[in-house]
């Protein structure tokens, strides 16, 4: 019995104690976004093209005068057939570009762009309106998000990490 008690005591003290690293982390965040107003306007330019065969150009087609607030004008060409009875072709293409506006800037009022110059290519993005947009995260991790008006985004998250090594 003594031997058994002695051996069991040695075994008890020889076992190493348990060790573990425990890490606990709580990360929380709320992101509230209100879209900004934006506009992009690209003027379309004027172009003129002439081609033909068996024709003699009398009056050359040309652009008109250039002035602020107006588009570039155009005067068509005049032609005659060079050799009567032979086939001929004549093509004249004019694309009238955008007017040149006197003012090229816009104003954003309350998140909205009220007026833009009218160009051949115009893209407008209305601005968002915050309204009641808001959010909170309580100490227990409960998320409360209040929706805003148009053009808003609200994202809330709580991340809990438990690492045991």
The stretches in the chain having pLDDT less than 70 are 1-18, 66-71, 100-118
In the chain, DSSP finds a helix count (H) and a strand count (E) of: 1, 12
User: CB-hemisphere CA count at 13 Å for 18?
Assistant: 4
User: Rounded to two decimals, what is the model's pTM?
Assistant: 0.45
Chain segment 73-106, per-residue pLDDT in tens:
788 888 899 999 999 998 988 888 877 665 566 6
CA distances from 90 to 52, 59, 62, 82 (A): 4, 14, 16, 12
Place of tokens 């190493």: 16
Looking at residue 98, its pLDDT comes to 79
Query: Do residues 54 and 87 make contact, with C-beta atoms less than 8 angstroms apart?
Result: yes
């Amino acid at each position: 019995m003594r031997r058994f008690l002695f051996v069991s005591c040695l075994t008890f003290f020889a076992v190493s104690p348990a060790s573990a690293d425990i890490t606990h982390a709580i990360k929380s965040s709320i992101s509230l976004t209100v879209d900004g107003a934006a506009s992009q306007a690209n003027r379309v330019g004027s172009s003129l093209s002439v081609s033909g065969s068996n024709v003699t150009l009398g009056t050359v087609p040309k652009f008109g005068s250039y002035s602020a607030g107006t588009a570039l004008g155009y005067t068509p060409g005049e032609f005659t057939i060079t050799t009567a009875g032979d086939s001929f072709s004549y093509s004249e293409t004019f694309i009238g570009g955008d007017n040149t506006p006197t003012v090229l800037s816009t104003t954003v009022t309350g998140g909205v762009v009220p007026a833009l110059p009218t160009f051949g290519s115009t893209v407008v993005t209305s601005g968002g309106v915050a309204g009641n947009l808001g959010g909170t995260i309580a100490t227990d991790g409960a998320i409360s998000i209040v929706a805003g008006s148009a053009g808003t985004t609200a994202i809330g998250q709580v991340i809990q990490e438990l690492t045991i090594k």
